[in-house]
Structures are given as structure tokens and as C-alpha cells.
Amino acid sequence: MARDRPKLLERSGTDGFDVLTDWVTTRLAGQGYKFVVYWDNTRPSDQEFGHVADSRPPYGNERAIIRISDVYPSGPQAGQQLTSEKLWVALVYELLNLSNAEGFQRAYYRTLEGKLSRTDFVTEFFRLEHRAVQLTQEFYATVYLPWAQTSQAKTDPTQWYVSSSFWWQAADETLDGFAFDSGYPWGDYGTQFDRVRRQASVLPRMSVLQDGSLRPSQHASQAVTALHRGDNEAGLSHLLEGIALRRKRSGCEEFESTPPVVSASALSHGQQQFERLSADRPVFLQHSGKDGFDRLRDWAVHRFAGNGTDMMVNWDDAEPVTVALGHIAEHTVSDGRTRGSLRIARIHRTGTSTGQPLSFDAAWSSLVFELLNLSNVSEFNRLERSVLHGRLSRADYVTEMFKLEYRAVELTQEFYANHFLPWAIRAGIPSSPESWYLTGEVWWTSAEEALDLYPFNRSYPWGYYGRVFDSIRNSPGAHPRNSSQKRGVATIGANPLSRGD
């Protein structure tokens, strides 16, 4: 290693330098591990993430290795030689990080078995590496810095993770400081998670049912095929069977859409909002002359009136603020001073339908999803309070928000199967099942499995709700751990970016 990276020995003539070399020697010999470590003079494999070093525990017939680059791979110093001290920081950190080998392997095998989500995989790896950072700080304080002082060697403490409060927090607090993007740790270990899951060939929890019957997603696929060829009865039958199988697996109760009695004033509000909606978006009344349409309208009126949402909802003619992200609809939650509201776009702004007006199916699907999603208002508010009081991490916040919206997607599918599609069949109206989240495996598994299919660099849900999390945490009165101050925030909930992606 010293021959390949001679700057490691740049200060070898100073008094006490053997303390450093002896420490490295014993580590390479296996102290702190159950294996010996070999030097590999190639550069780290993931230099696109800016890593100057990496290590690998033993796996199968492959032995444990450590690698350190000779140059900075990125940033303002890209291409320049690593300094002697930077080489030592990288070397110490990687040798200490190898003591996490059992933890890394445990996470690896649990992922192979389908028992660890992408979020949990990254979180576990980061916690292990955070401990290696702390041990590196301790090495600096107890070994490297005393040697530097004795030998009068210059040292830069910022290289050793000691100058910033960032690395002096608990691991979970530090993790909240990293945005969901293509960098470390979310993009880095998210990519590694995907590699491990690909090794498993298929997601174990998505395998064919043991009795040989079709999975819910297969029923949905056959339903879409049947509906496109005009076999409506077979399509509806497959769809209902898929929903029944999913409901049985999850233990969820059957969707109940019969609205309870609401006050006359609330009902008047609901009727007024639907009239405004249909005046601003005439597509909602495209088939209003068909027998049975009043049942769809009445359902929406009752939802605007507060049935299922615990609050009356206003229609807002403005375009969704998240339309640039591809969302065609969104809602805002009441901030305690104004009612919640709902917005639906006039045209598609992204994808293959860019510039085209929303179809009857797409418009109604968006309306149904948002009105159903508003039934999660109390949970949205609970999650916001948890973030304000420092009780919820960024990853957990996004995960919980996605779970709530995933359930709204399932209820939207059930509305389509129980109400919209049967009405469309009776009325002789062709329907577009793609507009109702029927295509793709993602909406027929579980919220946890579906979330694993979204890379961290996707705008929905990671980027979007990651930014919502940051806005809550950065608001006046918020505290990472112990604030008790309450505040009303108009949180925006948007349709998932794609249907069946």
C-alpha cells in the first residue's frame, strides 16, 4: 500500500510515526475483525459519488479489501493528488468501517430475502458508517493529533469530521441532513440496494401465490386487456377478483361508499363546489345525460360537503402548483383559518399526453383520488406535528405520507370497480382503465413494496415530500427534538406522478 500511495510515508521520519503504522498493520492483520484485509491498488468502484476510498468485507471466495484513490475524483480538487493527511483519514476510516462487516452482511442478506426496504437498507448502512465516523474522530483525538503535536506536523481537523456539528449528532439526526438525491447516502446505497434486489432475481414478496392462482396484479392486467377488447364483463370480473385478493391479504375492510347524512348547509356547500368545478372544467359533465350519472355527482357533492374528510372542501380554479412535476391534481389541507381546497389541471403538462386536455376518465379519477386522499387529513396533521416536534425523520415522514396516499390509490381503484366502471358499462361509455391506476405491479403489491420501486432521486415521493419535510422543520417554532409549539401548515398532497410506473 505504501509503495502504491507513497504519500502515506511522507512524514515517516518523524518521532512516533511507528504508532500510526503499527495501528494500520494490526488492523490489516485482523484486529477488530474475524478476517485479514488485503490492499487493492485499483481506484474505488463508486467514484461517481465522489468517494476517495472504499472497503469490502469478505464475501464467498472473495477476500476483504481496502482501496484508496490517488487523486480526488470530483469537486474543485478533481484530478489533484490526495494529500498525506487525506490518505490517512481515508485509510483509518475504511479500516474502522470494516468492523461493521457483520452488520453490512446482515443487511445484505435481509435484503436478498426481501425483508428490508430500500429506506431501511440505507438507514442501517448509514448508522453503521456514522459509528465509523465517530471512531475516526476518536482515533484523531487519541492517536493522530497527539502524534502531530509531538512531531510538530501540521494537521487539518476539518479532514477528520471534527469541526462540524453535523457529525456530532445522533446518526438519525445526521441522516436528516442529507437530501434525497443521487449522492451519499441515499443515491449511493439506494443504488446498491437495487443491485442486491436484482441479485435476488425477483422480489420474494411479489412471487406467484402458493396455490398457483393469479396475483392481484395479474388479475388487473387481464382486466385491462379484456376492457380494451370490449369484453367488459370479463374485465370487471377480473378487477373485482384482484381487489378481493388484495383485500384478503391486507386484512382491509371492504370500501364503503354510502354517504352518511350531512347537514343541509354542508350539503349546500358541496353542491355549490361541484357546480363551480363543472363550470370551470366542463369535461366532468361530458356524460351527464347518461342514466346513473347522478350517483357519481352525488358522491362528489357529499365529499365536498365533508363526508369522509371531517371538513368541507373548496374547489379552486387555479392550476396545481405542482403541475411542473407532472401532477394533474392536488389538494391543500386546512391551516385552521381557511378550508382545504382541491385543484385539477385543464391539460396534461408532461408525458405522452402533454398539451392535451384531460379526458373524462382522467378528470374523474383525479377528483376521486383527491377527495379520498383528503380522508387522511387527521393523519397528515399528526405527521406534521411529529416533524415539528422532532419525532419523525425525513425518511419516515416520506414513507408515512406515501402509505397514506397508497391507500387512497387503492380506494380509487375500488371506486372504479364498484361504481364508475359498472356505470360506464351500463351507459355504453368506453372507459380508460389506465387512468385509474390499474396498470403495473406497483399499485397491486403493498405500500412498502411499491415504495421500494421509487429511486430516491425521483421527484415523487422522495423529492417532493422531502422538501415538504424541510419546510416544516425550517418553520418558526420547529425543533429537531423537543419543541412543543404548534403551527398550522397548508400541506399540499398531490397525485402520484404516474399511473402504473
pLDDT for the residue 59? 79
User: Do 165 and 285 belong together in one domain?
Assistant: no
pLDDT for the residue 207? 41
Residues pairing with 492 in the sheet = 332
Q: Within a domain: residue 373?
A: yes
User: Do 151 and 287 belong together in one domain?
Assistant: no
Q: 3-state SS string over 129-185?
A: HHHHHHHHHHHHHHHHHHHHHHHCCCCCHHHHCCCCHHHHCCHHHHHCCCCCCCCCC
User: Do 184 and 331 belong together in one domain?
Assistant: no
User: Do 283 and 382 belong together in one domain?
Assistant: yes
Q: Within a domain: residue 410?
A: yes
- Cα dist from 192 to 320, 339, 403, 459, whole Å: 35, 44, 24, 20
Q: Within a domain: residue 90?
A: yes
Residue 363: name the closest of 419, 444, 283 by CA. 283
Q: Concatenate the DSSP letters of all residues of 212-276 into one string.
A: SPPPHHHHHHHHHHHHHTT-HHHHHHHHHHHHHHHHHHHTPPPP--------HHHHHHHHHHHHH
For residue 442, the enclosing domain spans 263-494
Distance from C-alpha of 279 to C-alpha of 275, rounded to nearest angstrom: 6
Q: Are 344 and 366 in contact (CB under 8 A)?
A: yes
User: Do 32 and 162 belong together in one domain?
Assistant: yes
Tell me how many domains the chain contains.
2
User: Do 286 and 137 belong together in one domain?
Assistant: no
Strands 340-344 and 329-332, by their bridges, are antiparallel
Q: Within a domain: residue 240?
A: no
CA gyration radius for the chain? 28
CA diameter of the chain: 94
Q: Are 66 and 40 in contact (CB under 8 A)?
A: yes
Residue 320: name the closest of 307, 331, 312, 309 by CA. 331
pTM of the model: 0.81
Distance from C-alpha of 16 to C-alpha of 67, rounded to nearest angstrom: 25
pLDDT for the residue 467? 92
User: Do 364 and 485 belong together in one domain?
Assistant: yes
What digits encode the pLDDT tens for the residues 340-377? 899 999 998 877 778 899 999 999 999 999 999 998 98
Domain end (from 151, 168, 201): 201
User: Do 179 and 280 belong together in one domain?
Assistant: no
Q: Within a domain: residue 163?
A: yes
pLDDT for the residue 485? 28
User: Do 177 and 273 belong together in one domain?
Assistant: no
User: Do 321 and 455 belong together in one domain?
Assistant: yes
Domain end (from 201, 227, 245): 201
Q: How many CA atoms lie within 13 A of 370 on its CB side?
A: 30
Q: Concatenate the DSSP letters of all residues of 300-349 into one string.
A: HHHHHTTTTTSS-EEE--SPPTTGGGT-SEEEE---SSS-EEEEE-SB--
User: Do 185 and 276 belong together in one domain?
Assistant: no
Residue 88: name the closest of 108, 68, 104 by CA. 68
Domain end (from 201, 236, 252): 201
Q: Which residues of the chain have pLDDT under 70?
A: 46-49, 201-213, 250-261, 323-325, 335-337, 479-501
Q: Are 57 and 38 in contact (CB under 8 A)?
A: no
Q: Within a domain: residue 234?
A: no
Q: Within a domain: residue 328?
A: yes
User: Do 281 and 380 belong together in one domain?
Assistant: yes
pLDDT for the residue 476? 82
Q: Within a domain: residue 327?
A: yes
